[in-house]
Amino acid sequence: MADAGWLAALPEDLARIVAALAEPAAAALAALAGAVGGIALMRRLERRETGDETLELIADPIFALRGGALQPLNRAARDFAAANLPASTLAALSGWLARQDGELDGRLEELLARAEPFRIEITTAEGRHLELDGRPRGALTVLTLREATGARAREAAAMAALARVETEHRLLTAIVDAAPVPMWRSLPGKGVVWANAAYRRLAGAHDPEAPPPALFAQPGTPARTGAADAPRRLSLPGQGGDPLWFEVTERDLGDAGIGGVAVGIDAAVRAEAALRRFVETLTETFAHLPIGLAVFDKNRRLGLFNPAIADILKLDPAWLASRPTLRQFLERLRENRQMPDPPDFLAWRSRLTALERDAEAAAYEEDWVLPSGQTLHVSGRPHPQGAIALLFEDISSAITLERRYRAEIETLKAVLNKLPDAVALFRPDGMLAHANTAFHGVWRLDPAQMQPPPHISRLIEHWAAACEPGPVWRRLHDFATGQDARAPWCARLLLRDGRIMQARFAPLPDGSTLTSFQDETERERLQADLRDAVADLATERRLMLDRLEALRGALGGGAADAPDAAALAEDLGRILARLREGAAEGAEEALSGSDLPGLPATELPALVQAVADLSRGEGTAGPEIRIDVAGELPGLSRRRLRQLLHGLIAAAEAQAPGRLDSLSVRRQDDALVMAAHLAGAGAEPAPGLAVALLRRLARLEGGNVVIEADAAGDGAAIRCTIPLRAASSGPRAALSGGGK
């Protein structure tokens, strides 16, 4: 077994356990020593002569064996023989032994034959432990029965205690060897005399009997017994070049030497190195941080600040380095007007100083609007250990941008509210973001019912109830809540109250959905009216074409005696062709295509009568014709006059076919006035295609056309006024093609 001094090298708690386990072993050894002493006493008593009176004092039965007979030598032997042996013979003793747990195995014969002593253990049926001792004594052979129950119990207890001690020793040795920390014991001048398995592995010593090298030696020992050195750090070379760091603790064990324990602290060393790097990085980060930082310790003194706080708060860095208190810091801010100036300064100050009174419970966050117009966002973050961190962020530009953004939002909302169309904007999740004023009016919604903003599915239910059934609402729900690629689309809605809506749905870049509803009821009514008017005009145009066709046939077939009838038929043919092609603007070209001689005033009555007769048709009485013209008609050709007369008659008959009762041509100052009177035409003459053609012809000559009802209401008149000018004067000659 190794030197017992190894116990002193163990940690204090471990050594106490080993010492406690050793106490039962010491008691067992003492009991064993007492038993041995009793045996020696018995041996001394056995050396006495038989028949000695002192044998009577011995409590153990003693027999002398003479041949085959047993002779009791003391009272205890006589009492034993009387109680257990039917006869004082060796056979009776052998029979009794056979009934007990004990065998002689020929030892008695060896004693008698060769005088070889023996000792056997006997366990009686009652559970008593006896010891039969046989040995020669001179000429006698002595058998002694000793009571061994107490001795055996003490011996068994001692052996059990010793076994426990050995088990605990092996267990503690295994525990110490299994410990991951190196342990050792050293003696002055001898070095390390014991080490555990972790130490031997670290030292590379594979032989457990050989003393390992000293890995953690240092000069000197603690000053007094039981004193422990302060833990010290040292490193040993490791695999891969990385050092292994340990924290070594040694204690003076007195005569047992010095015991030591080395705890590996590689993780702690790496953590400390990482912490140092983190602090360095944090310091550099704080130095470049645009937000001002001031950290006050639990004594409310400034412990840490970055350069930004000096720039933001206009503070002297040297003054900050003097570590002012929180109260001094706030007072300096007030002196430099770097704090707001609220109406109730005391109440505001009490909220701020709550950080100083109760750092664990208080939290501070507020925007400071300084007298200079600068805005600071100030937040106080308390620490459970009593420290306080104040952050100062200049948000002036952000506040300005936010105000501008809000102003733009309000402007956009105002613009949307001014739109006549109903507009609603839905967020990507389908919730209503904004609806303009027209939206509530068109869909008859109370704005109070729109709070909180509803989901689009709720509004779709309202829309579907107000409109005729259709698939548009399911498509709209999928469109507003879907995330796939979306394209704008439109739908026509027919409301149950008769209104017609044009709905437009469009996606926005952020996933929102824009919906607009335009009331198309009036526009579609106007479109229907316009279509009816166009249909009426088309009917009237067809009627005029038919009448022009009939007039052309009349001019070409039965009016050869009329002046220039062939030329007039040719001109009307070109007009008819242009009208059928739908090119009204080409009428001017058709009307100005011929170049006829100028018209003398003497030919005017015959021309007017011919045009009137042709317009009325052959065999029909013409209108009353009144002509009041003298002299020449300067600047007006026969062709143009013929066109104007025909247009006037066509316009009159378009108003009331067959009701033309008079046609007059007169000269008024420097203008030629042509008028067609209609009998019973009504008070509201309606313009048509013939009137438009007449006005076009009049404008070419610089004139105008007026349609008016009689004052009595029994007729209407169409009056065309053409100014008379020289052929070379004004733009009329250019427009009319320079006719004579």
Query: Beta strands 292-296 and 388-394: pairing type?
Result: antiparallel
pLDDT of residue 30: 41
**Long-range Cβ contact pairs of 552-555 (< 8 A, separation 24 or more):** 552/576, 554/614, 554/617, 554/618, 555/614
pLDDT of residue 467: 92
Phi, psi (deg, nearest 5) at residue 136 = -75, 145
The closest of 492, 486, 488 to 518, measured between CA atoms, is 492
Which amino acid is it at 192?
V
Secondary structure (H, E, C), 227-289: CECCCEEEEECCHHHCCEEEEEEEEECHHHCEEEEEEECHHHHHHHHHHHHHHHHHHHHHHHC
Where are the extended beta strands (E) located within 321-399?
364-369, 375-382, 388-394
pLDDT of residue 729: 42
- Tokens 């933001």 locate to 312
Spatial contact of 719 and 655, defined as CB atoms under 8 Å apart: no
Where are the extended beta strands (E) located within 584-670?
624-628, 660-668
pLDDT of residue 720: 92
Tell me the mean pLDDT per 10 residues along the chain, length 740: 42 46 42 41 43 72 82 86 83 80 73 82 79 82 80 74 87 86 87 87 80 74 50 83 87 87 89 85 81 87 87 90 88 86 74 64 78 87 79 88 87 86 90 89 84 89 90 89 83 89 90 90 84 74 68 52 52 57 41 42 65 54 78 75 81 72 86 86 61 82 86 80 64 34
pTM as predicted: 0.36
pLDDT of residue 630: 74
**DSSP class of residue 680?**
T
Whole-angstrom Cα distance, residue 409 to residue 403? 10
pLDDT of residue 193: 86
CA distances from 667 to 631, 652, 674 (A): 10, 21, 9
Three-state secondary structure call for residue 685: coil
Return the ∠ at Cα 587 (arms to 586 and 589), rounded to 5°. 70
For 467, other C-beta atoms within 10 Å of its C-beta total 19
pLDDT of residue 557: 47
Q: At what angle do helices 521-557 and 638-655 cross, to 10 degrees?
A: 130
